[in-house]
Chains A and B, each alone.
Chain A
Amino acid sequence: MKKNLQDIDKIFKDALDEHLEPAPPGVWDTINNDLDKKQAFHFKEKYFRLRRLALALLLFVFSGVAYLLYFVKPAKNNPVTQNHTVAGKNNTGTDASSGSVTNKETVANKETVAGKEVIANKVASSNNENKTEPVVSDAPHVTEKPINKKENSAADANDLTGENTLKTSTVAANKKASAKINAAANTQPDTHASNNKLAVIEKGKAGNQFSIRANSQQLASEKNSKRKLILQQNGAASHQMIAANTKDHITKGLAKKGDHNYLQDNQNVNTTVSGVNRQLVTTNNKNSQASLLGAYLYQPSLLIAPIEYATPGDVTRIDGSGLLSEHIIQNDSLLKALAALPKKTPYRHAVSLMAFASPNHSFTRLENDDLLAGPGRNKNAAEREEHQGASYSAGILINYGLTKSIILQSGVVFSSAKTIISPKTIYARPVNNGHAQYEFNCSSGYSYITPKTGPSPAVGDSIKVMGSSSSISYIGVPLSLNYVWQRGRFLLKPGIGLSVNFLTSGKSETRLGSWAGNEKETSVIAGLKTAYVDGSIGLGAEWMINRKISVGIRPLLRMALSSINKDTPVKMYQNYLSWETGIKINL
Chain B
Amino acid sequence: MYNVCLRFSRSGHEAEEILQEGFIKVFSALHQYRDEGSFEGWVRKIMVNTALQRYRKRASMHAVVSLDLTEELPVPEEDDVVTRLTAKELLGMVQELPPAYRMVFNLYVFEGYQHKEIASLLSISEGTSKSNLHDARRWLRDKILREGKIDNLKKLYS
Check B19–A373 contact: CB distance below 8 A.
no
Question: Chain A: interface residue count, which band?
Answer: 35 or more
Report the stretch among B51-59, B80-88, B121-129, B149-157 that lies at the interface: B80-88
Within the complex, which residue of B2, B20, B75, B90 is in contact with A2, where a contact is CB–CB below 8 Å? Answer: B75
**Smallest CB-CB separation from A380: which chain B residue?**
B34
A138-B110 Cα distance, complex, nearest whole Å: 124
Within the complex, which residue of A1, A11, A30, A375 is in contact with B76, where a contact is CB–CB below 8 Å? Answer: A1
Check A24–B16 contact: CB distance below 8 A.
yes
A26 nearest CB across to chain B (Å): 8
**Smallest CB-CB separation from A368: which chain B residue?**
B31
Q: A370 within 8 Å of B by Cβ?
A: yes
Check A31–B24 contact: CB distance below 8 A.
yes
Within the complex, which residue of A5, A8, A13, A27 is in contact with B75, where a contact is CB–CB below 8 Å? Answer: A5
Report the stretch among A14-22, A296-304, A356-364 that lies at the interface: A14-22
A400 nearest CB across to chain B (Å): 45
Q: B68 within 8 Å of A by Cβ?
A: no
Check A15–B90 contact: CB distance below 8 A.
yes
Q: B28 within 8 Å of A by Cβ?
A: yes
Within the complex, which residue of B3, B12, B79, B94 is in contact with A1, where a contact is CB–CB below 8 Å? Answer: B79
A119 nearest CB across to chain B (Å): 90
A22 nearest CB across to chain B (Å): 7
Check A21–B82 contact: CB distance below 8 A.
no
A376-B33 Cα distance, complex, nearest whole Å: 9
Residues of A537-587 at the interface with B, using a CB-CB cut-off of 8 Å, are 569
**Smallest CB-CB separation from B139: which chain A residue?**
A8
Q: A23 within 8 Å of B by Cβ?
A: yes
Check B39–A375 contact: CB distance below 8 A.
yes
**Smallest CB-CB separation from A33: which chain B residue?**
B20
> Which residues of B have CB within 8 Å of A379?
31
Q: A460 within 8 Å of B by Cβ?
A: no
A371-B30 Cα distance, complex, nearest whole Å: 7
Contact A11/B90 with A38-B28, A380-B34 known, Cβ cut-off 8 Å? yes
Check A374–B30 contact: CB distance below 8 A.
yes
Q: A12 within 8 Å of B by Cβ?
A: yes
Check A4–B79 contact: CB distance below 8 A.
yes
B49 nearest CB across to chain A (Å): 17
Check B3–A378 contact: CB distance below 8 A.
no
**Smallest CB-CB separation from B35: which chain A residue?**
A375
**Smallest CB-CB separation from A371: which chain B residue?**
B27
Within the complex, which residue of B20, B31, B108, B145 is in contact with A374, where a contact is CB–CB below 8 Å? Answer: B31
A4-B79, A5-B75, A375-B30 given; 20 more Cβ-contact pairs under 8 Å: A1-B76, A1-B79, A1-B82, A5-B141, A8-B137, A8-B144, A12-B109, A15-B90, A16-B3, A16-B7, A22-B2, A24-B12, A24-B16, A34-B24, A35-B24, A368-B31, A370-B30, A373-B30, A374-B33, A378-B33
A-contacting residues of B (Cβ < 8 Å)? 1-3, 6-7, 12, 16, 19-20, 23-24, 27-28, 30-31, 33-35, 39, 75-82, 85, 87-88, 90-91, 94, 105, 108-110, 137, 140-141, 144-145
- 10 closest A-B pairs by beta carbon, nearest first, are A1-B79, A373-B31, A368-B31, A19-B87, A23-B2, A15-B87, A9-B109, A378-B31, A2-B75, A8-B137
